[in-house]
Amino acid sequence: MKFLMGQLVYAFGKRQERNVKILLKFFLILLALITVYSVLFHFLMVLENREFSWITGFYWTLTVMSTLGFGDITFTSDIGRLFCMVVLLSGIILLLIMLPFTFIQFFYAPWLEAQTRARAPRELPEDTKGHVILTSYDPITMNLVDRLRQYQYEYVIVAEDIPKALELIDLDYEVVAGELGNPETYRRLRAQKAALVVANSNDMMNTNIAFTIREISKEVPIAANADLDDSVDILQLAGSTYVFQFMKLLGQSLSRRVIGTSTRANVIGSIESLLIAEAPAMRTPLVGRTLKESRLRETIGITVVGVWERGTFEIPNATTVINSTTVFLLAGSAEQLKSYDEHFGGYQKSPAPVLVLGGGRVGRAAAEALEEGGVDYRIIEKNKRLIEDDRYIYGSAADIDILTRAGIQEAPSVIITTHDDPTNIYLTIYCRRLRPDIQIISRATLDRSISKLHTAGADLVMSYASLAANTILNVLKPDEVLMLAEGLNVFRVGVHAALLGKSLAESQIRVQTDCSVIAINQDGKMVINPDPSVCFREKDELIMIGADNAEKRFFKMYSEGVNLKS
């Protein structure tokens, strides 16, 4: 009963005052008309020399207007029957048509809306702390929520639209309804005690969010995305702690994957002094040997923690054969990578430029990174407004003549950067058909497109959502999570109680989870590529590498008692 009264209070509150007035006005008109009909009933019955009580008059009026028409009281005169038809027709209109719609629109619908709104919570419990506030729902949020759940972080998504909030609740997301520009929303979200607020809308809305949050808290960290270069300073002035340009980061990540012009180790990430690099095996003496025969660990001290074969990542073993298409994933110190370059590194300038399909923000960022690395490029773009210089070629990348003029037949690599996944899949298939031997690097907006792009022929795929989510996660867990490629991560965890006192070989981590330990932080010292006989101690931190499913398998197996760095 208390709940029902609460709904009625909402339905007939100040915000619904207009609806209530209209509903009451309708009932007053209806009551007045019934009264008039009842009075006329008496006068007409007097003309027919019959008399009835006033209650009978109301009874007759209601039975006729509602079309029940019991027939126990009828007129015998023509004027009486004409009056009866008027009452009947007006009753059909008012009671059978207007009354249901008026009742639904001005009473039942507001009550139902109040009941629906009650399903969407408006605030978090007062003791909530250390949570992450997400201010939009998009592919980045979807990916980030999965990561936050994996690392056992509480989160909440703010939704301004009630139907959207309810939809997300039905999808098992933690959601609170509220206005993004209202300080009261963030008070109800306990933003003062949050671990991080993520503003990932457009630049103006992100600025508004950051500025609004700063009204109630000066300390809570805010991570914001900036689409435009000019927005970076504005977002910082508004109070954002971290400002990222995810589009630019994606373009830079794509360009770093270009290979074929050099056999040197290309650093793609780091955690403290541990460097992760890629190096192609082509044109090196290692081609044709097994990993054991290469003796890289014995001679240089570097470890091959993975190999890429046409976009497929594999954890290698001693018998893994090194092909001309193999790309090493190396883990080691700066000195070890330098030693690798001295033994096997070389540089051969490609006579043809790298092709970049798409001159948007991602494509331009990729081109700028290529230019910084001394790699020539050509951008194919069909929007004339984005053409900047003679390195741009105007036209469609799906046109064979345009691709030929850009140098598809000689290019060592092609980077596909459009924001539309179906277009990227189409261009991947097309380029692979034209050049079976070319390296194809593609962007994916949605995670579900990753496998499609690999199947279409892409050697490497970078997801915008995954890159942004991991970047944000690094704000929460600095130097703990590093995405090397789509579905492949380096992550840091504490030693589980079940592993204490065991050696790396005895732990069987790689056999059981498909994750590899590539370094151990012991007493503040990074032991890179540890010996299998090294024993795990209580305060050690493990630096591990594994695919997404392997990482999830590890956390599932060692979910209890893992000491994650906070």
Q: Where among 412, 432, 465 does a domain terminate?
A: 465
**Which ranges in 380-485 belong to alpha helices (H)?**
400-406, 421-434, 450-456, 464-476
10 & 115 share domain: yes
Q: Please state the rounded mean pLDDT for residues 542-558.
A: 83
Mean of per-residue pLDDT scores for the chain:
84
Q: Which residue from 125, 186, 174 is spatially nearest to 148, judged by alpha carbons?
A: 174
317 & 389 share domain: no
196: pLDDT strictly greater than 90: yes
Q: Where among 176, 210, 244 does a domain terminate?
A: 244
Cα–Cα distances (Å) from 21 to 11, 13, 106, 401, 465, in that order, read: 12, 12, 9, 70, 50
Crossing angle of helices 109-119 and 2-11, rounded to 10°: 120
Residue 160 lies in a domain: yes
Query: Which token pair is 310?
Result: 């046409």
10 & 105 share domain: yes
Among residues of the chain, what percentage have pLDDT more than 70? Answer: 90
Residue 471 lies in a domain: no
Residue 349 lies in a domain: no
- Domain count for the chain, please give it: 5
DSSP string over 299-321:
HT--EEEEEEETTEEE---TTPB
Q: Write the pLDDT tens digit of every residue in 415-434.
A: 999 989 999 999 999 999 99
The pLDDT confidence band at residue 16, using thresholds 50, 70 and 90, is low
Query: Which token pair is 19?
Result: 């609806």
361 & 452 share domain: yes
Contact 545, 483 (CB under 8 A): no
85 & 115 share domain: yes
331 & 396 share domain: no
Q: Please state the rounded mean pLDDT for residues 19-27.
A: 79
Contacts of 469 (CB under 8 A, 6+ apart): 140, 143, 144, 146, 147
Contact 149, 142 (CB under 8 A): no
496 & 551 share domain: yes
In this structure, the number of other CB atoms found within 10 A of the CB of residue 388 comes to 12
445: pLDDT strictly greater than 70: yes
Query: Which token pair is 83?
Result: 């009056």
Q: Please state the rounded mean pLDDT for residues 389-397.
A: 92
Q: Please state the rounded mean pLDDT for residues 470-483.
A: 75
Residue 81 lies in a domain: yes
Return the sign of the alpha-carbon dihedral for residues 256, 257, 258, 259: positive
Angle made by CA atoms 68, 74, 79, in degrees to the nearest 5:
115
The pLDDT confidence band at residue 349, using thresholds 50, 70 and 90, is low
Contacts of 555 (CB under 8 A, 6+ apart): 150, 562
Residue 250 lies in a domain: no
- Give the amino acid at 24: L
The CATH number of the domain holding residue 295 is 3.30.70.1450
Q: Where among 217, 244, 271 does a domain terminate?
A: 244
Residue 512: what pLDDT?
85
9: pLDDT strictly greater than 60: no
Q: Which residue from 96, 100, 106 is spatially nearest to 25, judged by alpha carbons?
A: 106
96 & 147 share domain: no
The CATH number of the domain holding residue 452 is 3.40.50.720
Residue 313 lies in a domain: yes
Q: What share of the chain is helix, strand, coil (3-state, %, to 5)?
A: 45, 20, 35
Q: Which domain holds residue 83?
A: 2-119
Q: Please state the rounded mean pLDDT for residues 162-169.
A: 85
Residue 350: what pLDDT?
61
Residue 565 lies in a domain: no
Residue 563 lies in a domain: no
pTM above 0.75, yes or no: no
Q: Write the pLDDT tens digit of every residue in 198-230.
A: 999 999 999 999 999 999 999 999 999 999 989
452 & 360 share domain: yes
413 & 322 share domain: no
68 & 33 share domain: yes
Q: Please state the rounded mean pLDDT for residues 387-410.
A: 91
81 & 44 share domain: yes
116: pLDDT strictly greater than 70: no
DSSP string over 45-98:
HHHTT----HHHHHHHHHHHHTT---SSS---SHHHHHHHHHHHHHHIIIIIII
Contacts of 392 (CB under 8 A, 6+ apart): 359, 378, 379, 380, 381, 386
